[in-house]
C-alpha cells in the first residue's frame, strides 16, 4: 500500500481545452497515464491537490472523471483555482456513485488514511492577498485546513498536508496558512499551482521550522506521480 501525489493534471478530455499549447505539456495526458500505470498499483492511493479538470460542471467533466477512475488506485481529489466544477462533497459523492466511479474521493474538511499517514489539506490561497474578499477567503481556507488536520490527528497517524496554492515560496509566504502548519506541528507539505517560469520561485526542502515542502505540479514532475515514502507502512 503506497501513497503518491501529483497536482495540476488539467484534464481536458471533456472540454477540448488542451494544455498542449504550453511548453512542456505536449501529450501530457498520455504521459500521465503511462507513468501512472507504471508506478501505481490498485491498492495504492494518489492525492491530486487541485486543478484536476477544465470542466465547468461535474456532468461536463464526465470523461475526465471516467479517465481518472480507470487508472489504478484510490484517488483523493482536492480543489484548485481552476476546478470550476467543484461543488459540495455530498453532490460529488452522489455523482461519482451514480456513474460507478468508485475510486474517486473528495477531500474537504476531512481526512483519509493510507498506511501510516493521515492525508489532510485544503486549497489555500494567494500569499499576497490584500483585498477584503481575499482576506476572507484565506481565513476560511485556514479554518478548513485546521479542521482537516484535526480530523487527521484523530486517526493517531502522522498528518501530512496537501495544498493547491504554495504556502511558502522563495518570494514570500501566506502567513495565515503557514502559521497553521507551524501551530499544528506539520512536518511535510506537498503543493502545486506553480507552472513554467514560476517553478523558479518554488520552495523545495526543509526550512527553519522543520517543515519539508515539495512542489508536485504535473509539469514540474514530468507528469510522474511522486512517491510519499516516509512513514508509509
Alpha-carbon 203 to chain mean position: 17
Domain count within the chain = 1
Residue 37 · residue 69 · CB < 8 Å: no
CB 146 within 8 A of CB 182: no
Does the residue 113 lie in any domain? yes
Does residue 232 sit within a domain? no
Residue 155 within a domain: yes
pLDDT digits (tens, 9 = 90+) for 85-112: 999 999 999 999 999 999 999 999 999 9
- Whether 132 is in a domain gets the answer yes
Flag whether 233 is in a domain.
Answer: no
pLDDT tens, position by position, 173-201: 999 999 999 999 999 999 999 998 889 99
* Residue 25, in any domain of the structure: yes
- Strand pairing partners for 52? none
CATH number at residue 146: 3.60.21.10
Q: Is 161 contained in some domain? A: yes
Q: Do the beta carbons of residue 65 and residue 86 sit within 8 Å?
A: no
Distance CA 89, CA 157 (A): 24
pLDDT of 233: 41
CA distances from 65 to 70, 81, 83, 146 (A): 9, 18, 13, 28
Domain that holds residue 77: 3-227
Residue 112 lies in a domain: yes
pTM of the model: 0.94
Amino acid at each position: 500500500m503506497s501513497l503518491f501525489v501529483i497536482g495540476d493534471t488539467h484534464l481536458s478530455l471533456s472540454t477540448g481545452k488542451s494544455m498542449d499549447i504550453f511548453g512542456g505539456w505536449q501529450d501530457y495526458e498520455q504521459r500521465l497515464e503511462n507513468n501512472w500505470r507504471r508506478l501505481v498499483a490498485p491498492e495504492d492511493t494518489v492525492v491530486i491537490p487541485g486543478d484536476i479538470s477544465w470542466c465547468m460542471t461535474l456532468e461536463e467533466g464526465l470523461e475526465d472523471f471516467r479517465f481518472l477512475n480507470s487508472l489504478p488506485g484510490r484517488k483523493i481529489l482536492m480543489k484548485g483555482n481552476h476546478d470550476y466544477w467543484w461543488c459540495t462533497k455530498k453532490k460529488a459523492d452522489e455523482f461519482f456513485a451514480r456513474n460507478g466511479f468508485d475510486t474517486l474521493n473528495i477531500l474537504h474538511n476531512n481526512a483519509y488514511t493510507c498506511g501510516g499517514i493521515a492525508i489532510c489539506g485544503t486549497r489555500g490561497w494567494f500569499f499576497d492577498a490584500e483585498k477584503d474578499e481575499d482576506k476572507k477567503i484565506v481565513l476560511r481556507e485556514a479554518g478548513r485546513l485546521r479542521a482537516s488536520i484535526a480530523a487527521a490527528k484523530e486517526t493517531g497517524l502522522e498528518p501530512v498536508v496537501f495544498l493547491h496554492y504554495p504556502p511558502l515560496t522563495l518570494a514570500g509566504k501566506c502567513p495565515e496558512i503557514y502559521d497553521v502548519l507551524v501551530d499544528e506541528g506539520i512536518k511535510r507539505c506537498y503543493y502545486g499551482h506553480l507552472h513554467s517560469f514560476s517553478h523558479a520561485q518554488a520552495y523545495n526542502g526543509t526550512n527553519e521550522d522543520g517543515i519539508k515542502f515539495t512542489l508536485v505540479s504535473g509539469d514540474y514532475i514530468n507528469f510522474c506521480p511522486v512517491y510519499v515514502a516516509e512513514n508509509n507502512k
